[in-house]
Amino acid sequence: MTCLEAQSSIIAYIENRLEKDKKIEFLKHVKNCNDCMEELDIYYTMIEGMHQMDSNLPITRDFRAELEMRIEREFKQDRNKKSFVRSSVFIAVIAVLIFVIAGYINFLNILYEDEQKNIKEQQGDYYYSSYFDDVLFAPDEKILNINIEPEISTEESFYSKIREYNANKK
């Protein structure tokens, strides 16, 4: 902001008619420019003094000090607003991050559960095989173990042995 722009904004500033961004630019300028600060001080004293007299308010003794306090207050308000916006943005970013991380964790859980399900299914095969694989993988042995021929009773074999013996004797 140039001195010309600043000085043309003095009345609007005193009457609180400057837009926020323009006001901050104006305040930054008068803080660093003695000429414009002097000009502002003169107008402020005149306008505020007249306003105070018109409204039967106690007249300020130190307009310059009052003006400087007002400038500081307005700077501080702007900083607070900016830090509020910054913290709002920060909170929003954190919220989005939490949302994304939670979503990712959920996604990982789904993957994990899916994997566990697969493992369990595979283990299920093992589980069944450990119990039944004799039958499943070597059924022939079992069948071979089954004695298909009817067992000759000991009695029968006993007599047949005697008969055999007698036959041989003759």
How far lies 86's CA from each of 19, 53, 83, 90, in Å? 21, 42, 5, 6
Using left for φ > 0, alpha for ψ between -120 and 50, and beta otherwise, residue 147 falls in: beta
Cβ 92 to Zn ion shortest distance, Å? 38
- Residues in Cβ contact with 4 at an 8 Å cutoff, skipping those fewer than 6 apart: none
Cβ 4 to Zn ion shortest distance, Å? 8
Give the total of residues touching Zn ion (CB under 5 A): 4
Q: Does 36 bind Zn ion (CB under 5 A)?
A: yes
Task: Dig out the tokens for 42 from the structure.
Answer: 């003169």
Cβ 26 to Zn ion shortest distance, Å? 10
Q: Does 101 bind Zn ion (CB under 5 A)?
A: no
Cβ 38 to Zn ion shortest distance, Å? 9
Residue range at the interface with Zn ion (CB under 5 A); choices 5-13, 48-56, 96-104, 139-147: 5-13
User: DSSP class of residue 61?
Assistant: S
Q: Does 3 bind Zn ion (CB under 5 A)?
A: yes
